Structure 1
Amino acid sequence: MSAALSLLQQRHSVPSRQLGEPAPDEATLHELLEAAIRVPDHGKLVPFRLIRLQGEAKLAFGERLAAIATRNHPEMSEAKLEKERTRYTFAPLVIAVVARLQLDSKVPQIEQKLCAGNVAYNILLGAYALGYGAQWLTGWAAYDREVAGALGLAENEHVVAFVHLGTPRIEVPDRERPALDELVSTWTP
């Protein structure tokens, strides 16, 4: 079996709470992201961009999320607010993958979003290949326009993933996978 197929068969997510230092250094991160953006891109639109959340910025982002959550749900418990404050603090690095939709393009918006999703998945694969752990998360913040504003997103931009990156602090067992025979069929006219 090729190394590439072996990588695909072994890749798994590491929960963000189980990701610690170190994150990829600058040179490794640059190499990882350069590889991650090599995705199918109908029309060569480059319908994505990346936003790094690191260090104090993750804390400030968490505070903004807690403020937005409080406005949207004033009855929210202090425990849930604390979860919003700390959601992005566990992994040393979080990459927000943003779909940057060109609304006037002949390329359907779903294809543009899938392109951005492929970038997120390539980050997961690349991180695993380099010995790091990663988890793709979304949650309400990925779909909230006020959060989009806090990230500086334009009206045509949407978060498709918050990819949490770091070094796994535990050995994560693989989950049960579906049987391929139950998923594949052959179409006949």
Structure 2
Amino acid sequence: MPDKNQAALDFLAKRRSHSPKVLTTPVPDKAQLAELLTLAARTPDHGMLVPWRFVVIEKPAMARLADLAEARAKSLGRSEEDTSKARGQFDRGNLAVAVVESPIDSPKVPTYEQTLSAGAVCLSLVNAALASGWGAGWVTGWISFDRGFAEQGLGLATNEKIAGIVHIGSFGTTPPDRNRPDIQGITTWLSE
């Protein structure tokens, strides 16, 4: 029987992301955030390509990104609801990290595996923040997939994509749990 890390298992059994809407100050300082990013980078990465990078969005940049999100929404004819939602995460935000999928040409590692690695970084960053006592939530939405926003707002190259925007901060209450999948209903056992 392997040795269990019961504290880690208890954390995973109870972990719950926070909506960026409820996150407030204080936020991690640069040293604390560097530690979280270091932990997030310890993620599955076939070929050790590091096909992702981080863009840290501090409070002063949030207003510019909120304005850009609104301008992009209007130029694309998005609804008021879409505009408000895209702008809102930056209007309310105090600290966020955009995890950027930055694929590397590789004959051995398909781009799809690199995409999965970038997604794993997002979850690892959320879990590192939560385990460190911060609140954290991973969001995307249409604004994350808009090329104009990605390139103008975050400086992404044409081959890069936003895998997720992880908001990190303090929180007042633990979010309620939500319904979880029926594991029996989504699991197939192959015995032969």
Fold similarity call, TM over 0.5? yes
Find out whether 1:186 has 2:189 as its counterpart. Answer: yes
Find the residue that maps to 2:113 and give its secondary structure: helix
1:13, distance to aligned residue in structure 2 (A):
1.1
Letter in 1 for 2:165: F
CA offsets 1:68-100 (integer angstroms, 9 cap, x no match): 111110x744x6544433322323211100000
Extract unaligned runs of 5+ from structure 1: none
Q: Contact (CA 8 Å) 1:103, 1:156: kept in 2 or not? A: no
Find the residue that maps to 1:89 and give its secondary structure: helix
Counterparts of 2:182 and 2:83 in 1: how far apart (Å)?
A: 39
1:156-175 alignment, distance < 5 Å:
156-175=159-178
Q: Contact (CA 8 Å) 1:18, 1:91: kept in 2 or not? A: no
Extract unaligned runs of 5+ from structure 2: none
Pick the aligned partner of 1:3 from 1, 7, 18: 7
1:22-41 alignment, distance < 5 Å:
22-41=26-45
Pick the aligned partner of 1:120 from 105, 119, 122: 122
2:21 counterpart residue number: 17
1:99-178 alignment, distance < 5 Å:
99-150=101-152, 151-178=154-181
User: What's the TM-score once normalised by structure 1's chain length?
Assistant: 0.91
1:84 counterpart residue number: 86
Q: Contact (CA 8 Å) 1:127, 1:134: kept in 2 or not? A: yes
Counterparts of 1:64 and 1:50 in 2: how far apart (Å)?
A: 20
The sequence identity of aligned pairs, in percent, is 37
Query: What is the count of residue pairs matched by the alignment?
Result: 187
Letter in 1 for 2:39: A
1:39-118 alignment, distance < 5 Å:
39-73=43-77, 76-77=79-80, 81-118=83-120
Q: Contact (CA 8 Å) 1:59, 1:85: kept in 2 or not? A: no
Distance of aligned partners of 1:175 and 1:82 in 2 relative to their CA distance in 1, 3 Å threshold: closer
Counterparts of 2:112 and 2:85 in 1: how far apart (Å)?
A: 31
Counterparts of 2:116 and 2:72 in 1: how far apart (Å)?
A: 28
Distance of aligned partners of 1:122 and 1:173 in 2 relative to their CA distance in 1, 3 Å threshold: same
1:171, distance to aligned residue in structure 2 (A):
2.9
1:29, distance to aligned residue in structure 2 (A):
1.0
Distance of aligned partners of 1:67 and 1:91 in 2 relative to their CA distance in 1, 3 Å threshold: closer
1:52, distance to aligned residue in structure 2 (A):
0.9
Indicate the RMSD between aligned Cα atoms, in angstroms.
1.7
Counterparts of 2:97 and 2:39 in 1: how far apart (Å)?
A: 15
